Amino acid sequence: MKAVLLIDFGSTYTKVTAVDLDTEEIIGTSQSFTTIETDINDGLNNALKLLREEIGDIEFSEQYACSSAAGGLKMVAIGLVPELTAKAAKMASLGAGAKVMKTYSYQLTEADLEEIDEINPDIALLTGGIDGGNKEVIVYNAEMLAKSKKKFPIVYAGNRNCASTAKEILANAGKECYVCENVMPKLEQPNIEPAQKQIREIFLQEIVKAKGLSDAEELIGDILMPTPSAMLTAMKLLAKGTKKEEGIGDLVGVDLGGATTDIYSMCQGLPSQSGTVLKGLRETYAKRTVEGDIGMRYSIKGIVEATDIDRVCEISGLDEDRALELIDYLSVHTDVVPNGDEELIMLDKALASLAIETAVTRHAGHLEQIFTPMGITYMQLGKDLTQVKKVIVTGGALIRTEKTAEIAEYALYNEMQAMSLKPKKADVLVDRKYILAAMGLLSTNYPETALRIMKKELIKDGNNE
C-alpha cells in the first residue's frame, strides 16, 4: 500500500481524504472543525484521529493540502468597461479560486478606494485597456491604489504599454506590484491564465503565511492551492482527461454550499444551432462562477428573493406561512440538517432545486432573438451548454439527500426559459464522498490515478447501489 493524505482546510471543516495509490481506492475520509483561531494543526489532528479510527494507523508517504480557511482568497477585480476588461478580470480571479468581493470599472473614486481599504483584499487585480489601447484609466487607477492605506499586493494585468508606468507609481508608494500579461490583449479575447498563475504564486508565497496556515506546512509540506482552484482542477481533468487516460467529456459542475453556490463548466460553448451569431466577451473553456446570494443556509433568503416563495411552496408542498417560518429559522440556525424530518427534507429539496436553477441559469449563456429583414436571427451571449451530457453535483445539501437526481434536474434546460442555454439532456453524477477537491490536489502529481478514482467514485443518477 502506498497511502497519500489529502487535506482541505475549509472555512468550517478541515476535511481529510486518504487514498491508496496502488489500488487507486479511497481508503477513508473524515472531517473536524477548522481551528484557525488557535492552531490550525489542532483541527487537522482531530480529523486525522477520526480517520485513523476508521482505517487504522497508516503511514502516509505524501500529503497535500488546499485551503479556503480564514476567508479564502479575497480579491477585488478592477477593469475599464464592465462588459469587457472588468468582466475578464472577474473571470480570471474566480478561475484562480478567489472570492471576488467586488468588481470595479472605469476610474476608481475616493469612495471606491475607501471601500477597497475596508474590504482589505488579499490581492487586487488591476486591469484595463487592450494592449496598445486605453492608458489613462489604468494609470489613474494605479495612482488611486497607490493612495490605499492597506498593504495588499497588486497584480497588474492590463494594457502592456503602460505597465511600467503603473508599476513605478505603485512601487514609489511602497506597494508590491506584479506585472503579468494582459487579461484581454485583444478585444473580446480573454487571456486569463497568466494572471491566474501570478495569483496562485502570491497565494502560496504570502497569503498562506499571513493566514496562519504556515504552521501546518511543517506537517504537510506545501499548501498547494485555494480549495476552489482544486475543484476547478479536478473538474477540468475529469472532462479533458490526460494523454494516457480519457476524460468523460464536456461537463457542468454544481457545488451547492451553505453560503454560496459555485458553478463550473468545462466546454467551449460555441453556438450549436445555425443562424446564431456569437456576441460579447469570449468565455473560457474552464469557467467558474460564484453566486454569493444563493446558498442553503446563510444565503437561504437569497434563493427566495431570486425566485419566488410560490415556487418554493409548489415544489415543497408546504404552505406559504410554514415555509417562510422555516426559512427564517434556518437562516439563523445554519447548522440544522433535515435528519429525517419530512418537512425539512421537502423544504431543502425545493430550495436546492431553485438554487441550482438560478445559479446555472446565471452561469449559462443565453440567446436573444432578433427580427431582421432576412428573418429571425439569434445572438448568443455567453456559453452554449445545451450539448453538455454530464452534470456533476457536490456539496452537503446534494450529496446527503436521496433526492439528488430530482434536484439536479433543475440544472437542465426547460421550456419556460427557452432562451437559456442549459444542458438539454445529461447524466447526473454525484460526488457522494465529497472527494473532488482532494482529487484536484492528487492530480498535481498523479493525474491518471485521480482521474480513474473520480470515474469510479462519481455515481450516476445518485444511485448508490
Q: How many whole angstroms separate alpha carbon 357 and alpha carbon 445?
A: 35
Using CB under 8 A as the binding rule, whether residue 130 contacts another protein is answered as yes
Cα 314 from Cα 289, distance rounded (Å): 28
CA distances from residue 202 to 75, 124, 206, 232 in whole angstroms, order as listed: 12, 11, 6, 18
Sequence-distant contacts of 164-168: CB under 8 A, at least 24 apart: 165/135, 165/139, 166/126, 166/138, 166/139, 166/142
- Considering the complex, what minimum distance in angstroms separates the CB of residue 170 from another protein? 22
Sign of CA dihedral 223, 122, 282, 270: positive
**Nearer of residues 4 and 126 to another protein, judged by Cβ:** 126
97/133 with CB nearer another protein: 133
Residue 144 CB-half CA count within 13 A: 22
* Shortest distance (Å) from residue 106 CB to another protein: 9
- Shortest distance, position 148 Cβ to another protein, whole Å: 25
Piece of 168-176, 260-268, 373-381, 405-413 that binds another protein (CB under 8 A):
373-381
In the bound state with another protein, the residue whose beta carbon lies nearer, of 137 and 145, is: 137
User: Residue 272 in contact with residue 240, Cβ under 8 Å?
Assistant: no
Nearer to another protein, 88 or 238 (CB): 88
Strand partners of residue 376: 371
Residue in 52, 135, 311, 433 binding another protein, rule: CB under 8 A: 135
The residues that bridge with 26 in the sheet, in sequence order, are: 19
Binding to another protein by residue 371, rule CB under 8 A?
yes
CB of 75 to another protein, least distance (A): 21
For residue 362, what is its C-alpha cell? 446565471
CB-nearer residue toward another protein: 30 or 159: 159
Q: CB-based contacts of 200: which residues, under 8 Å, 6+ apart?
A: 96, 97, 225, 226, 229
Complete edge-to-edge strand list for the sheet that includes strand 366-372: 276-279, 375-381, 366-372
Q: Scan residues 375-414 and list those touching another protein (CB under 8 A).
A: 377, 379
Candidate list 71, 132, 221, 317; residue touching another protein; CB under 8 A: 132
Which is closer to another protein, CB of 274 or CB of 464? 274
- Binding mask 154-193 vs another protein (x if CB under 8 A, - otherwise)? ------------------------------x-xxx-----
Nearest distance in Å: CB 84, another protein: 5
Near another protein by CB under 8 A, which window of 18-26, 60-68, 78-86, 337-345? 78-86
Q: Which is nearer to another protein, 340 or 373 (CB)?
A: 373
Which one among 3, 70, 80, 393 touches another protein, defined by CB under 8 A? 80
To the nearest whole angstrom, how small is the minimum distance from the Cβ of residue 127 to another protein? 10
Give dist(CA 398, CA 410) in Å, integer: 12
Residue 47 binds to another protein (criterion: CB under 8 A): no
43 binds another protein (CB under 8 A): no
Determine the interface stretch with another protein among 7-15, 220-228, 312-320, 365-373 (rule: CB under 8 A): 365-373
Q: How far apart are CA 210 and CA 104, in angstroms?
A: 25
Least Cβ distance, residue 109 to another protein (angstroms): 15
CB 370 → another protein: shortest distance, Å? 5
Question: Taken in order 331, 333, 339, 342, is the CA torsion positive or negative?
Answer: negative
Q: Which of residues 243-282 bind another protein (CB under 8 A)?
A: 277, 279-280
- Phi and psi of 37, rounded to 5°? -70, -40
- Choose between 279 and 433: whose C-beta lies nearer to another protein: 279
**CA 24 – CA 457 distance, rounded (Å):** 11
Query: Is 430:253 a contact under the CB 8 Å cutoff?
Result: no
Asked if residues 51 and 150 have their Cβ atoms less than 8 Å apart, the reply is: no
Amino acid in the structure at residue 73: L
Closest CB 69 distance from another protein, rounded Å: 37
Residues of the shown chain interacting with another protein in the complex, contacts defined by CB under 8 A: 80-81, 83-85, 128-130, 132-135, 184, 186-188, 277, 279-280, 370-374, 377, 379
